[in-house]
Amino acid sequence: MKTLRLDGASLTVEDLDRAAHGNWHLDLAPEGLARMSRTHALVARAIAEKIPVYGVTTGLGARATEALDAEALADFSLQTLRGRAHAIGPLAAPEVVRAGLIVRLNTMLGGYSAARPEVARHIASCLNTGLAPVTGSVGSIGAADLVLNAAIGLALIGEGEMYASDGSIGPSAELMQAHGIAPLKLAPRDGLALANHSCATAARAALTVSKAATAFEAVQTSAAMSMEGFRANTGPLDEAILSIKPHPGHLKAAAGLRNRLAGSALFEPGQARRLQDPLSFRNIVQIHGTAKTALDRAMDCVQLEISSASDNPVALAASGKMVSCGAYFTSEITSAAETLSRSFVPLAMAQLARAAKLLNPGFSGLPSFLAMPDSASNGFAPVMKVAESLVAEIAHAAQSVPVWPSVNANGVEDCLTGSPAAVSALDRIADNVFHLTSIEFLIACQAIEIRNVTGSSSSGFLTGTKEQVRRISPPLRDDRPLAKEIEHLSAALKQKRIAVFRS
């Protein structure tokens, strides 16, 4: 079992993705637990001195101006969870819940939540035994994930349900007891620290951006494969040409394409069939480069989010204060996710256009629809309906999330970000891109084979990739259903089992 040390500052998107999907042991840095102890002492001070602190000595939301008496304080953490655990809809996947709690552990160890170290230790104990709380996936508007997190918090105190390590669901108290874990007992501030933060959205955004990055790299490979099959002009990939307008994303995309095509005869003079290719080939660098820029920005955003405090209030050990703030508001995630989603639309359109050009003998110089010679097959013509359907789904999902004045808390909470909806849309887009990329691979491989591009005239990396594709889907010689092959190829791309370029 691999170990992930959480210290409040150094969690990466890659490690989060691996730990959420794998059987990793979580280790809590002692210095992070010490920071939690120091700031939790501020809670006791606020209560003793009757200092107004949101959600500690006052009510929540519209009742933030109401001071809590001693009797209410004793029960407030529990009521905070019970009164807000309203998440509905499809259950969040165990790996998504696990990711959210890993992020919450990491941000707690920064010391800003003022929760007790016992809370962090309890969460880690549950996750390390394969347990994960059950929650619906609908309920957050991107201004803290209060409703989702409260359901998770109830499970941690033994009043909800949990996933077991085998994926089954049972009462959380019974599952924790079976692993020798006592339900968490709440102290002042603990309930709000479990509920009032944006770690669920930040974690899902990180997992989704990571998936989108994998999809982008797969498209880079399928585009290079299409260039090989089309015998495209590589002039637009030239570093000297790109230096006249050196957008960083363009330069990175071009380098990735050149690396994938290394060794191909396409770089030799006279190998390109046309002086100027259709734009879906000629402008791959610009189209992919824009997506790469958006992807880098999104990755930077989620990287910051998973190691930053999203609490309200925030506890500051240096000044001894607990201050109300807006750190839970996930507007940056919405902006980054929507920009990345939009960038995938022209990328998908170009994939569709390249596939169409390879199937058109007037552009490719190959048999119509890439049907094998002397075959009665209609080739890949019917598959283009699937491809166009995928592009329509991608374009539809890329529409902006509408943001309106919120009606929450009698008008006190009058803004929202819609981040969960934006992240969900990006997740659907990434899944559809994997399917669309699978279709581009099947068509490009067929074009390469019909054109008989082999041996020293082809890129070594692409030759190996084509062999990987063919283990899943053999050449199309006679008509057959391709649905399962497209699905299996898409799964292989998502799992990084094929088409991965490693520099």
Q: Which two tokens stand for residue 229?
A: 């099959």
323 HSE (CA, 13 A, CB side):
10
CATH assignment at residue 76: 1.10.275.10
The whole-number average pLDDT for the span 229-250 is 97
Question: How many domains is the chain partitioned into structurally?
Answer: 2
Q: Which two tokens stand for residue 45?
A: 């001070």
Cross-strand partners of 408: 413
Q: What percent of the chain has pLDDT over 90?
A: 84
pLDDT attached to residue 108 = 98
Does a structural domain hold residue 274?
Answer: yes
Task: Indicate whether 244 belongs to any domain.
Answer: yes
Q: Write the DSSP assignment of 422-490 as a string of letters.
A: HHHHHHHHHHHHHHHHHHHHHHHHHHHHHHT--GGGS-HHHHHHHHHHHHHS----S----HHHHHHHH
Distance between CA atoms of residues 254 and 270, nearest Å: 21
pLDDT of res. 61: 63
pLDDT, position 410: 82
Mean pLDDT of all residues in 110-135: 97
Counting other chains too, the contacts that 48-54 makes at CB distance below 8 Å and 24 or more residues apart are 51/322, 53/313, 53/322, 54/312, 54/313, 54/324
3-state secondary structure of 97: helix
3-state helix, strand, coil in the chain (%, to 5): 60, 5, 35
Tell me the residue type at 265. Answer: A
256 shares a domain with 144? no
Boundary-marking domain end, from 181, 197, 213 = 197
Please tell me the distance from the alpha carbon of residue 345 to that of residue 395, in angstroms, as a whole number: 6
Do both 193 and 243 map to the same domain? no
**Alpha carbon of residue 162 to chain centroid:** 23
Distances (CA, A) of 210 to 3, 93, 205, 263, 437: 20, 16, 8, 29, 17
Closest CA to 216 of 503, 497, 493: 493
Residues 114-139 have a mean pLDDT of 97
- The mean pLDDT value for 285-290 works out to 98
In a domain, 287, yes or no: yes
pLDDT, position 497:
96
State the chain's mean pLDDT as an integer: 94
Same domain, 316 and 359: yes
Would residue 503 count as lying in a domain?
no
Question: Each residue of 136-166: pLDDT tens digit?
Answer: 999 999 999 999 999 999 999 999 999 999 9
In terms of C-beta density within 10 A (0-12 exposed, 13-18 middle, 19 or more buried), how is residue 502 classed? exposed
Binned at pLDDT 50, 70 and 90, residue 34 comes out as: very high
Q: Which pLDDT value is given to residue 68? A: 63
Region for residue 31 given its phi and psi (left: phi exceeds 0; alpha: psi -120 to 50; beta: otherwise):
alpha
What proportion of the chain, given as a percentage, has pLDDT over 70? Answer: 96
Same-domain pairing of 392 and 469? yes
pLDDT of residue 491 exceeding 80, the answer is yes
Q: Are residues 104 and 244 in the same domain?
A: no
Q: Which of 137, 121, 135, 301 is nearest to 209 (CA)?
A: 301
Same domain, 385 and 335: yes
Cα–Cα–Cα angle for 351, 354, 358, rounded to 5 degrees:
140
Asked if residue 153 and residue 234 are part of one domain, the reply reads no
Place of tokens 């929650």: 135
Count other Cβ atoms within 10 Å, centred on residue 138: 16
Domain endpoint, select from 138, 162, 197: 197
Cα gap 288→94, rounded to integer Å: 33
Number of residues written out for the chain? 503
The DSSP line for 376-391 is ---TTTTHHHHHHHHH
Six-digit token pair at 191? Answer: 């309930």
| pLDDT, tens digit (0-9, with 9 covering 90-100), for 376-420 | 889 999 999 999 999 999 999 999 998 888 888 888 888 999 999
Under DSSP, the state recorded for 93 is: P
- Tell which wins on pLDDT, 120 or 73: 120
Residue 501 belongs to a domain: no
Same-domain check for residues 247 and 108 = no
Give the DSSP per-residue string, 278-318: -HHHHTHHHHHHHHHHHHHHHHHHHHHHTTS---SSEEETT
Q: Are residues 412 and 469 in the same domain?
A: yes
Supply the pLDDT for residue 46: 87
User: Which residue reads 């803004």 in tokens?
Assistant: 415
382 & 405 share domain: yes
User: 178, 53, 28: which is closest to 116 by C-alpha?
Assistant: 28
Q: Residue 336: give its domain's CATH number.
A: 1.20.200.10
Q: Are residues 427 and 311 in the same domain?
A: yes
Indicate whether 499 belongs to any domain: no
Q: How confident is the model at residue 234 (pLDDT cuts 50, 70, 90)?
A: very high
277 has pLDDT over 80? yes
pLDDT in tens, 1-32: 899 999 999 999 999 999 999 989 999 999 99
Q: What is the largest CA-CA distance in the chain?
A: 90
pTM of the model: 0.95
Q: Which amino acid is at 240?
A: A
Helical (H) or strand (E) element with 4? strand 3-6
Report pLDDT for 13: 98
Final residue in a domain of this structure, among 197, 228, 249: 197
Task: Note down the domain range covering 412.
Answer: 204-494
Q: Quote the tokens at residue 27.
A: 């280790």
- 81-104 pLDDT, tens per residue? 999 999 999 999 999 999 999 999
**Does the residue 61 lie in any domain?**
yes
> Is pLDDT at 66 greater than 80 in this prediction?
no
Q: Establish if 175 belongs to a structural domain.
A: yes
pLDDT for 503 equals: 66
Judge if 221 and 330 occupy the same domain. yes
From CA 220, how far away is CA 195, in angstroms rounded? 40
pLDDT, one tens digit per residue, over 349-380 is 999 999 999 999 999 999 999 998 777 889 99
